[in-house]
A = this chain, B = another copy of it.
Amino acid sequence: MVKNTSMRWRLPLVCLLWEVAMIVLFGVFVRFDPEADAHWKEEQHQKNLTSDIENDFYFRYPSFQDVHVMIFVGFGFLMTFLQRYGFGAVGFNFLLAAFGIQWAILMQGWFHSFENGKILIGVENLINADFCVGSVCIAFGAILGKTSPVQLLILTLFQVTLFAVNEYILISLLHVKDAGGSMTIHTFGAYFGLTVTTILYRPNLEQSKDKQGSVYHSDLFAMIGTLYLWLYWPSFNSAISNHGDAQHRAAINTYCSLASCVLTTVAFSSLLQKKGKLDMVHIQNATLAGGVAVGSGAEMMLTPYGSLIVGFLCGIVSTVGFIYFMPFLESKLHIQDTCGIHNLHAMPGLIGGIVGAVTAAAATEEVYGKEGLISAFDFTGDYKDRTPSIQGGFQAAGICVSLAMALAGGAIVGGILKVPFLGDPADENCFADDVYWEVAFGLLSISTSPEKRLVYFLKRRCPGPIPIWTQTL
């Protein structure tokens, strides 16, 4: 039975209806934050702010732009490593993220920025929306090449919703610190995606096995994604930390962890390969695990050497994951994880949650200063009696909640995505752009296999008898 993968009506319908819904909901709910509103001049007088530079815009906008690049260029290009799926990687990531940030502004707004019936947005909301979508990009990595754009939009709708609920439980109810999202973004996003891909298991996927690898140039495109993720991760982990020392510290810790992670990734990539040659897959992915794993702890006094240790371990765990765990997960647990998000986000995300819990539990007034400790963990108001060790316990609870939400949510959403009329590709068409994209000259123009193109050409054009050697290919 041939699958109907035409998007002609389904995709436009979803896009247009949902965008109209966004407009209506934004119209009803979304307004500017005082710092972005034209009344800010008055606000300045009231708050006795002497300078325009006190506007949160100047504290966070540069980090926001870095995060923005990570979501669209970083994740988008990281996934172009597949030889024939570059359009889908960059293009669908673009689509789902563009929708996701709108829905995230609403969902997160209702939970966190809702005042007098309105969601008031400023630059921090934009960063948080990007963060939320980051978790969808992570999940996309697991199902890359195996779903239609309609399925991806549905996934985004549900995952953003669940993300916001999970985040609310962690940040507002458990009062957990997770500025770089080890738990809310990585653990949640990755286990959610892994559950979805397990539900969508395709037993005959080896039919498109030849397309599941990379070619030389696609690996270079992917390195653009890797490097921008790696470079801007310090901005990611510090973007919504408290002003001042917390942002500063989060950036330094992340920088250290990432640097260390590169060394152990290279070491194990070479060590575990028969001929000692480096594998681009590891360099592209495992080098980033260090950023994931300090997502909770970076703004705490993790210290530079603590960060180096975390990065050191994660480079190893992630690379070993690619070499040993991933084939095992696919063959035994039926988890077909295209990009290996289990190695880059799931395991390092869990480690990150634990690192955050331990670092919080170990916090002392000596290390933070009295005022610093209160400020770092926001031990004020309802939480003024919370101690570091209790905070550590709540951090640990946050990991469990995120994991539970991811597994349960992923199972439900995976089930929804199995609805037959969503236009997913047949097994033999997975990982190929020509299902959903106009591709110039058909796939024969892609510089993958010159042999195939030659044979195709010869068979199609030769009027005389075909030389014998072309028949044996």
Residues of B within 8 A of A451 (CB): 453, 457, 461
Q: Please, what's the 1-or-0 string for A247-267, where 1 marks a CB less than 8 Å from any CB in chain B? A: 111011001101110111011
Q: How far in angstroms is the closest Cβ of chain B from A378?
A: 13
- A62-B65, A216-B445, A283-B94 as given contacts; A305 in contact with B26, CB under 8 Å: yes
Taken together as a complex, chains A and B put the C-alpha atoms of A193 and B268 apart, in Å, by 29
Q: Judging by beta carbons under 8 Å apart, are A221 and B219 in contact?
A: no
A76, closest chain B residue (CB): B227
In the complex, what residue of chain B is closest to A26 when comparing beta carbons? B305
Contact A123 B252 (CB under 8 A): yes
Find out whether the CB atom of A271 lies under 8 angstroms from the CB atom of B54: no
Instruction: Select one of B19, B466, B473 contacting A312, CB under 8 A.
Output: B19
Interface string of A107-139 (1 = CB under 8 A from B): 000000000000001110010000000000000
* Binary per-residue interface labels of chain A (54-68) against chain B in the complex, 1 for a CB within 8 Å, 0 otherwise: 111111011101101
- Least distance between A60 CB and chain B CB atoms (Å): 10
Tell whether, in the assembled complex, residue B59 and residue A52 are in contact, meaning their CB atoms are under 8 Å apart: yes
**A264 and B19 within 8 A (CB):** yes
Flag whether A472 is at the interface (Cβ < 8 A).
yes
Number of residues in A with C-beta < 8 Å to the partner?
160
The residue that A102 contacts in the complex, of B26, B252, B259, with Cβ under 8 A, is B259
Given contacts A126-B255, A447-B447, contact A244 B15 (CB under 8 A): no
Question: Nearest-CB distance from A232 to chain B (Å)?
Answer: 7
Give complex CA distance A26, B277 in Å.
Answer: 30
Confirm or deny: A173 has a beta carbon within 8 angstroms of a beta carbon on chain B: no
Does chain B have a CB within 8 A of A273? yes
CB nearest neighbor in B for A316: B16
Residues of B within 8 A of A54 (CB): 51, 53
**Best-surrounded residue of A243, A445, A461 (most CB of chain B within 10 A):** A445
A87 contacts the other chain (CB 8 A): yes
- Which of A37, A99, A214, A216: most chain B Cβ within 10 A? A216
Tell me if A384 counts as interface (CB < 8 A to partner B): no
Q: Which of A248, A251, A267, A308 has the most CB of B within 10 A?
A: A248
Residue A416 at the chain B interface, CB threshold 8 Å: no
CB–CB B448/A448 < 8 A = no
- Nearest Cβ on chain B to A176's Cβ, whole angstroms: 18
> Does A436 make an interface contact (CB < 8 A)?
yes
**A72 and B233 alpha carbons, distance in the complex (Å):** 13
Cβ contact of A6, chosen from B249, B255, B275, cutoff 8 A: B275
Q: Is A421's beta carbon under 8 Å from chain B?
A: no
- Evaluate contact between A301 and B38: CB separation under 8 angstroms: yes
Listed by A's residue number, 24 A-B pairs whose Cβ atoms lie within 8 Å are: A8-B271, A8-B273, A11-B270, A13-B267, A16-B263, A16-B267, A19-B267, A20-B312, A26-B304, A37-B301, A39-B368, A41-B244, A42-B369, A42-B372, A51-B53, A52-B59, A65-B234, A86-B219, A94-B230, A123-B251, A216-B446, A216-B447, A217-B217, A454-B454
* 8 tightest Cβ-Cβ pairs between the two chains A and B: A8-B276, A38-B372, A98-B262, A40-B245, A26-B305, A52-B243, A15-B267, A52-B244
